[in-house]
Amino acid sequence: MFKKKSSQDLSATELRRLLVDKRRSERSERLNRFRETGRVVTLVSEKESSWDDMRSEALEEEQDVQKGKAKKRGRRAVDGILFAVEILAVVGLVFVLFNGLDILNELNREVAIALEQPTLTPTPLIKAVVLPSGHTSPSAEGGSRENIEEIPEHLRPLRDSYAEIPIPVATVGPKQAIRLQIPAIGQDVPIVEGDGWEQLKKGVGHHIGSTNPGQSGNIVLSAHNDIYGEIFRDLIDLEIGDEVILFTERESFTYLVTQIEIVEPTQVEFMEATADPTVTLISCYPYLVDNKRIIVIAKLAN
């Protein structure tokens, strides 16, 4: 007797055939029901589908399933490619942003360097260390010349460096002193700006930075006593109360002598500013020796 096989013992071909048979049987039953109820109109004589036709339909369905799977695999591949492209785009964008920040920082550094002020070399503050008009005696060996020995040794190189700088010609303003009269010793001489060696060859030198006639402060004037006209030779003959008259382009100012001193060349405190209008006259002393200074101080009369 034929023994019915279990579904687990059937091959794939046998299972497919059973499936086709089942579908054909179900189809025939549906058609019969439709005929009995008049829901089917036979137009052409129908031939029952052969086994080959049913097999062909099953194969077509299986091919459609395989095509669907292939399409899904293709879509997944395309999606993977698109995802990879998106990842690369994000990485590229991040790189561009970071690279842009680096470029911006570099530009900021370059601008900061360009705008940074260079470190300035400090320029020594020029302050008088000896009183002006110093020179050697005309009777000394080599004649009269600027007395460098009075300048402290450590400052002499600085003095030499400034000696090489051309001296600008000062423009005299309407309030600056241009002439000096001392009636008691018969002096009526021009005043020039500056009290260096070259300026004192031309007359009385006005120390640059000191005040102007009639103003509060100290007007410092110096001249030689035994060379270049011996302008201040007779300062020692002045007395308290004698007149010292300063002229500008428009006015004259009279000062009265209040103090006469013999000091060392380094006593530069006599050149400092004062609270009231003052004129200070400076020259070498004694005559033809020139190792000290004579100081005459006068105050504004009015």
Q: Which residue has the higher pLDDT, 121 or 259?
A: 259
User: Across residues 179-198, what is the average pLDDT?
Assistant: 95
The token pair that represents 110 in the structure block: 């370059």
Tens-digit pLDDT profile for residues 73-100: 778 888 888 888 888 888 888 888 888 7
pTM over cut 0.75 = no
Distance CA 44, CA 251 (A): 144
Whole-number average pLDDT of the chain: 81
At 47 the pLDDT is 47
C-alpha 178/C-alpha 246 separation (Å) is 8
Phi, psi (5° rounding) for residue 41? Answer: -110, 125
Task: For residue 31, give both structure tokens.
Answer: 């058609």
Structure tokens at 43: 């137009």
Report whether pLDDT(275) > 80: yes
Q: Which amino acid is at 174?
A: P
CATH 3.40.640.10 fits 176-300, yes or no: no
Rounded average pLDDT over 17-28: 82
- Is the bond into 168 cis (omega within 30 degrees of 0)? no
Better-predicted residue by pLDDT, 41 or 246: 246
pLDDT bin (cut points 50, 70, 90) of residue 277 is: very high
Per-residue model confidence (pLDDT) at position 241: 97
Q: What percent of the chain has pLDDT over 90?
A: 39
State the Cα–Cα distance between residues 95 and 108, nearest whole angstrom. 20
Q: Which residue has the tokens 């190792």?
A: 291
**Tokens matching residue 287:** 């005559």
Active-site position among 135, 206, 207, 284 = 284
Residue 12 is encoded by which pair of tokens?
A: 């794939």
Which string of DSSP letters, residue by residue, matches 57-119? HHHHHHHHHHHHHHHHHHHHHHHHHHHHHHHHHHHHHHHHHHHHHHHHHHHHHHHHHHHSPPP
pLDDT greater than 60 at residue 31: yes
Give the per-residue pLDDT at 1: 47
- For residues 133-156, average pLDDT: 75
154 given a catalytic annotation: no
Q: Name beta bridge partners: 182.
A: 187
pLDDT band with cut points at 50, 70 and 90 for residue 101: confident
Given 135, 206, 207, 224, the catalytic residue: 224
How many residues does this entry show for the chain?
302
What is the pLDDT, as a whole number, of residue 15? 76
DSSP for residue 281: E
Active site residue 224: yes
What gap in Å lies between CA 27 and CA 24, rounded to an integer?
5
Please give the pLDDT value at position 293. 96
- pLDDT (0 to 100) of residue 189: 97
HSE-up of residue 102 (Cα within 13 Å, Cβ side): 6
Hey, what amino acid is at 279? Answer: V
